[in-house]
């Protein structure tokens, strides 16, 4: 699909752990700007309260705006119940289904960690930063699909 305009990218983040999500948004945004060389106004950021709401918002954006790609961000920390597994699996599976339904690349930087110590390396801007990995992966998928 050849495009005459610059791509439209969404970063959609769960802000349940606000300090974490703000780092994720900043890191993904920076990686997208660096990789795509597009105007900042072509990257839209939307927030939702929890990770379970991510698929709904991603689906709504795909349906209404038909973006060139989406990076989903958030953090799910394991507690004492099986809620962690249910949310993590549901979010991942639904994001994949939405991506396939709309033929829009969607990558996930949603952290699934067993304790807060694991968060630092995955949000530090370094080589293991999941938001940066998700943003770079999205750029590759967009390029492969021919949208750039």
The catalytic position among 18, 83, 120, 140 is 83
DSSP 25-80: HHHHHHHHHHHH---GGGEEEEEESSGGGHHHHHHHHHHHH--SEEEEEEEEE--S
The residues that bridge with 122 in the sheet, in sequence order, are none
Decide if 107 contacts 138 (C-beta within 8 A).
yes
Decide if 14 contacts 77 (C-beta within 8 A).
no
Q: How far is CA 89 from CA 94, 97, 109, 112, in A?
A: 8, 12, 14, 10
Confirm whether 83 is a catalytic residue: yes
How large is the angle between the packed helices 130-145 and 18-36, nearest 10 degrees?
40
Q: Which residues are catalytic?
A: 83
């Amino acid at each position: 699909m050849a495009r005459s305009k610059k791509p439209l990218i969404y970063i959609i983040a769960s802000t349940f752990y606000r300090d974490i999500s703000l780092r994720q948004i900043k890191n993904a945004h920076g990686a997208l700007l660096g990789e795509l060389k597009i105007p900042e106004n072509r990257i839209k950021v939307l927030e939702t309260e929890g990770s379970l709401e991510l698929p709904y918002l991603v689906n709504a954006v795909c349906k209404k705006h038909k973006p060139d790609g989406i990076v989903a961000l958030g953090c799910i920390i394991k507690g004492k119940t099986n809620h962690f597994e249910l949310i993590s699996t549901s979010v991942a599976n639904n994001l994949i289904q939405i991506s396939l339904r709309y033929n829009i690349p969607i990558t996930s930087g949603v952290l699934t960690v067993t304790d807060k110590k694991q968060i630092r390396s995955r949000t530090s801007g370094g080589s293991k930063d999941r938001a940066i990995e998700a943003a770079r992966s999205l750029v590759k998928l967009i390029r492969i699909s021919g949208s750039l």
